[in-house]
Amino acid sequence: MWFGDVLDSHDSTMGYEYDNPWKKDDTKMFALKVKSGVKDTSLSVGQDVVKDGKGGYNCKHKSELKTKLSGEVDAKLVSSNKEHEAELEWKPTDLNKDGQKVELELDLKCQPIPNTWSAEVELKAGGFDLGPIKPWTTLKFETNNKLAHTLEYTQNLVYEKEFNLAW
């Protein structure tokens, strides 16, 4: 159990904003979604026309390609009229057995109009037996076009599958 996953679980709320529960979104004037998929690969394309709040309309599009590049590597490419994103996730088979888990994630984002970008690399390792304790560790490095760098270290120590000590 990764420490960040416990804290982020409330974020998967299908767009509902707890900070602004009475927010009213404009009704979409037109929406077209097309999805296709074969084994280990999927493609979805969406086009929306919404009111812009100034008496006009905005056209929005989003294309998403997900694929399994190999037995250990997953990739996702997302392109929209506002930003582009690439994600790679590597789960090495040799390091993911006997209850141990190791994952490496790379996330790249680019917004062409304001000319901004960001990159994030995250290494997760855990499930190793240290007597009655199992550590779950995450190292995350982030950077962006302003050269603002952050390094985050979190750890969750699980004692006998019942007690957690996390920082």
Domain segments of the chain: what residues? 3-11+64-166
The pLDDT of residue 66 is above 90: yes
* Planar angle of CA 143, 86, 115, nearest 5 degrees: 55
Structure tokens at 140: 């995350």
Provide the whole-model pTM: 0.76
Average pLDDT, integer, range 98-123? 95
More confident residue, 8 or 154: 154
More confident residue, 31 or 4: 31
In this prediction, what percent of the chain has a pLDDT beyond 90?
A: 56
Average pLDDT, the chain: 86
Contact between residue 103 and residue 89 where contact means Cβ atoms under 8 Å apart:
yes
Q: What is the pLDDT of residue 18?
A: 60
The pLDDT of residue 14 is above 80: no
